[in-house]
Each structure stands twice: as structure tokens, then as C-alpha cells.
Chains A and B, each alone.
Chain A
Amino acid sequence: MPIIKEVCSTGIEELDMKMSGGYPLGSTVLVTGCSGSGKTTMCMQFLFNGARKGERGVFFTITEPLFKLTKNLEGFAFYDKKLIESGMVNIIDLRIISERLGLDTEKYTVEDAGALLDILKDIADELDVKRLVIDSITALCYRLQSPQMIRDFIFKLGTSLAVMKCTTLLTSEVPPQTFKFSQYEIEEFISDGILFLGDVKRKGDLIRTLQIIKMRGTAHSRTKFALNISTQRGIELIPLLKSSEFEFETLLK
């Protein structure tokens, strides 16, 4: 397997170690998981860590209002307001952009989606960002009105991201307790990598997990890790203690 030497640190030490130093530079990675699995935190940690290294980043949100997003971030030690004020981390609400473009924020036509993509690309170019996040591709596609439109949009997004000179994380929402990478089952095909954030039940309690499903061009672990979110250290990983209980639950599904 070819090992890509140029990598973009994930901001999570243990995760970097599991994939030869980080995300391959310029790749598009799908971060998939159910609500509360740590997708947004993982993306934010990626952006703030990059900003500390002088790599500008942008976070496009379509699910949460900006004030709510930043309020949730304030508790984390990796969060630094100054990095937002200095423009090293940019958080942009795509719904506000849609409004300014005169688009219907709830329903997009093919043209609307195309215009939004162009704006997104222009912002990334203008800010010269090295790290980009779209949270979430599921919510973005939800606004498109037919499966055909969703397919077209996702492939167009893939083409646009491929020519951008930044490493991109796309979050994808899936129902809880399912081993599925995306809502529309196309998102994974435009991605160079997939991180699956799930959970396992142990004696009725839920343990968050992370698994690297694919990461093109890099040697990576495929084992399942337990994931913990702490305010002091953000996301941390440790090998999951597996038992036959988990295997049995998976077989039942």
C-alpha cells in the first residue's frame, strides 16, 4: 500500500497514530455517525488544531445556529475565541448565505445547489483555507427534492472538493445503532476516507466508538476504538474492550 507522506493532523493524537500521521493532505473524509456521536466536536478539534499550526479553516454549518455552535464549543479546552476573531477559524452558516443569495433556505433547486457550491468554493479560495468542514452533507441534501438531484449534487460536490487545495471533512448523519455510512448511500463514493462513529451497548450503557473504514493512500488501523469526549482533551481514543456480547448484538441486527 502506498504511504502518503504529506498528511494533515486530525488534532487527535491517537487517531493520527492509527493512520500514519493524519488525513492524507487534500483528501475528502466522511465523518459519519448518529446524533451525539462526536462528529461536530471531531471536526472542530480538527479546525482549531490546524489554526494553531497556522492553517486557516472554515466550518460550514447548516444544522445549528452559530450562537449555539460557539456556545457548545466554549467548554472545550481546544476552543480559542481569538482564533475565530483573527479569522483563522471561520464558522459560516450556510442558511444565512442562502438567504443572502435569495434562495429558499428549506428547498433547493439544482441551480440553487450549484450556486451554493460555487459560493462555498469561492469562500474557500478567497480565505485560502487548508481545512474545510461541511456539517452536514445529510442536511444539505435533505433540501434537495429528488434522489436524482441528490446524486447529481453529491457528485458535483465531489468534483469541486477534489480540485480544492484543502483537506475536507463532511459529516454524515445516520440513525443510531446502524452500520450504515450515509443517508443517501452515495456520499461514501466521493470520499477518500470514512470514519464511522458509533456506539456499543454494554450492560445497557452506551460506549461511543470510532472505526476507520477507509483512508485511501495510507496504511490505517481497522479496529474499533472506544471514544471519549472530555472538555479538557476533546476527543480521545483507546482500544475498545470487545466481548462476545457485542458480536451477538451485531448478529441480531
Chain B
Amino acid sequence: MQDTVIESIRERVSVAIEVNQSVGIQVPENRHKDLLEAIFHSMCRNTYDIWTFITVNQTFDYLTKTFKEITKQPNIKFIDCISRAAGISDNSNNCFFLESPVMLENLILEVMNNFKNKKEAMSNAKNKKSDIDKYIVIDSLGALLIYNDSEIIRKFYSLVMNRSRAENIHVVSIFVEEELNSNQLIQFNDKIIVVRDSFID
């Protein structure tokens, strides 16, 4: 049963991400890990695509210990918004550690610069793909609300969405049901997926 649910999430998420410019995924806390596994599976499978994973829920260190395969992917860049603020000093070539989760403008700059740098690097590569897809995953908006006012987060999300549309970047946003109220923001997305305990809407 467990495997069936993960497989189902994986397939649904994978298709939705490819087809839509923005996807909002609402998930209960007890399915959050399964959802991450499904998303990481998509990220590892599409090695020609460029991914930026913004983590506000768990530290990069925790993620790499839990999902070991993600550290080996050169097309994935992580932005850890919480380690520095928690006084955790970590360093990795695969991860940018944001000084503070309230420095949202720096977060956007880092995301955009990552796509610019990676795209240049991949364009120069020998086996280059003509159309490189770019993705941002935000995990999660609700966790950003722990550190910021809802007014700022609404503006941040709107800016991310607008810049992403302008630069043809897909955005995948995770909304954990039990977290602080960020649910109205899910409406910004082209496609909404609701993951439940035993099935997907």
C-alpha cells in the first residue's frame, strides 16, 4: 500500500511538473517525506534539466543524509534557508546557505544566478541539449511564514512567480497542511495537487 502511494505521487507529480509552469502541492505532514522522495526521483531522472531546491523545512545536511542520491547530481543546486540562522556552519559546492530566511531578495537573486550559471555551463558542454528545462522547488511556503510576515511572503511568492514566468522556469511549491496558514497562496499556481493519506485528488 505504502509503495503504491509513493509510486502514485511520483507519477502524478512528474507529469504535472513537466506540463505546467507552476504546480502547488498540498501534503499532510506524514506524507511530506514521500513527496520529497517523488520529487527527488524526478530531479535525478532528468539530468539535463536544471533544478534549484529551496529548503526551509529541513537543513541541507539532513536532506543529504536522508536522500543520499541527491548529492551526486550536478544539475541540482540547493539553497538552505535555515542552517545559517540556526548557527549551523556547513559548506558544500551543491548548496548555497542563505544568511537568514528573511533575506528573501537574496534568495531570489541566488536562484536566478544559479540558472544563469548552470545554463552557461550546460550550453558549453559537449553533449548539450537544445532546450534545457529549469525548475524551482520551494519546500515550503508555510515554513517561510515562521520567519516572515504573511504580507512579505505573498509579495515574495508573487515576485518568484512573475520572474519565473518571464524566464520560463517551472515552479513547484510544497504546502504542508499542518504548517502555518499559507494555503491561499496555492491559488497562484496553474495546477494544484492535493496529496492525502491514502490517495491523491
Contact = CB atoms under 8 A, between A and B. Distances in A.
B155 A241 contact: yes
Given A203-B147, A226-B105, A236-B109, A241 B159 contact: yes
Contact of B155 (A202, A207, A243): A243
Interface stretch (B28-36, B67-75, B96-104, B130-138): B96-104
Interface in B36-88: none
A203 B148 contact: yes
B19 interface: no
B3 interface: no
Residue among B106, B113, B147, B149 facing the most chain A CB atoms (10 A cut-off):
B106
A241 B156 contact: yes
Contact of B159 (A202, A232, A239, A245): A239
Interface range, A side? 10 to 19
B22 to A, nearest CB: 19
Contact of A202 (B102, B108, B109): B102
A45 B120 CA distance: 23
A90 interface: no
Contacts of B149: 243, 245
Contact of B105 (A228, A232, A245): A228
A242 B151 CA distance: 9
A119 interface: no
Given A203-B148, A243-B149, A245-B149, A238 B105 contact: yes
Nearest to B156: A241
A238 B109 contact: yes
B108 A207 contact: no
B106 A203 contact: no
A103 interface: no
Interface string A214-230: 00000000000010100
Contacts of A228: 105-106, 109
Interface range, B side? 10 to 19
Given A228-B109, A236-B109, A238-B109, A243 B152 contact: yes
A205 interface: yes
A149 interface: no
B46 to A, nearest CB: 26
A244 interface: yes
B109 A241 contact: no
Contact of A241 (B99, B113, B152): B152
A36 B103 CA distance: 17
Interface string B141-163: 00000011101100110010000
B139 to A, nearest CB: 20
B105 A240 contact: yes
B105 A243 contact: no
A138 B110 CA distance: 34
Contacts of A236: 109, 113
Contact of A244 (B100, B104, B108, B151): B151
A238 B108 contact: yes
A233 interface: yes
A34 B183 CA distance: 40
Given A243-B152, A245-B149, A226 B106 contact: yes
B180 to A, nearest CB: 15
A207 B103 contact: yes
Contacts of A243: 149, 151-152, 155
A31 B159 CA distance: 28
Interface string B91-134: 00000000110111110110001000000000000000000000
A18 to B, nearest CB: 15
A33 B152 CA distance: 25
7 contacts: A202-B103, A207-B103, A207-B105, A226-B105, A241-B105, A241-B156, A243-B151
- For the complex of A and B, 3 pairs with smallest distance between CB atoms: A226-B105, A241-B155, A203-B102
